[in-house]
Amino acid sequence: MNSESRQLRQTIIFLRTSVEAVQHSIAGRLDDPLPCWLDTSLLDLLSRELHRCHKEAQPLSHDAAAQLWLAATRCELLLKQCPGVLSSTLCYHQLAAILLPINAAAACLVLPTKKRRWPWQRR
Which residue in 91, 99, 93, 36 sits closest to 67, CA to CA? 99
Q: Name the band, by pLDDT with cuts 50, 70 and 90, for residue 119.
A: confident
pLDDT tens figures, 55-95: 999 998 999 999 999 999 999 999 988 777 788 888 899 99
Of all residues in the chain, what percent carry a pLDDT higher than 70? 90
* pLDDT at residue 51 in the model: 97
User: What distance in Å separates the CA atoms of residue 17 and residue 8, rounded to the nearest whole number?
Assistant: 14
Model pLDDT, residue 113: 57
Q: Does 1 score more than 60 pLDDT?
A: no
Q: Which residue did the predictor score with more confidence, 122 or 99?
A: 99
23-26-29-34 Cα dihedral, nearest 10 degrees: -110
When computed from its CA atoms, the radius of gyration of the chain, rounded to whole angstroms, is 18
- The whole-model pTM stands at 0.84
Mean pLDDT score of the chain, rounded to an integer? 87
Judge whether residue 117 has pLDDT over 80: no
- For the chain, the three-class secondary structure string (H helix, E strand, C coil) is CCHHHHHHHHHHHHHHHHHHHHHHHHHHHCCCCCECCCCHHHHHHHHHHHHHHHHHHCCCCHHHHHHHHHHHHHHHHHHHHCCCCCEHHHHHHHHHHHHHHHHHHHHHCCCCCCCCCCCCCCC
Q: What does the alpha-carbon distance between residue 101 and residue 115 come to, in Å, rounded to a whole number?
A: 29
